[in-house]
Structure 1
Amino acid sequence: MNTAVKRATVYFDPAMHQALRHKSFETSRSLSDLVNEAVRQSLAEDADDLAAFAERVHEPLVSYETILKELKADGRL
């Protein structure tokens, strides 16, 4: 085992755990690999979202009511 790896206890819903075990078997990958990949993807999505927010920080704010009025005026609602 890689010494840079950290251990953690994670509690899964029984059905989720069973699904992970089946996927682990079918893909010949460990549960740790599957969970690490899922967490990595989730964190990457968060990073993408934060980058998008940072790019749009100077855009004007538009209220929900204004958007609804525009959609109705354009016949999309």
Structure 2
Amino acid sequence: MFQLLLSAYSTRGIQDTALFLGMNEDDATNYVVQQGWVVDPDSRMLTVKKQPVKTEQKLDSSKLHRLTEYVFHLEH
């Protein structure tokens, strides 16, 4: 559920976050602060710390083979 909150929101109320996580407000606040979120005690809002998106490019050997053939034809 935490990953869904992380990807869906940039800010979220403490009470709603606690409900989604199945925790009381103090435990939920402590948990998300440990994950790098920021608490605004005046508005009782949490600012989500977005995780950097990691993209992995997988090498598909069939695509590499087709590219090699294409380049070979261009050169000859």
More strand as a share of residues: 2
Bigger share in helix:
1
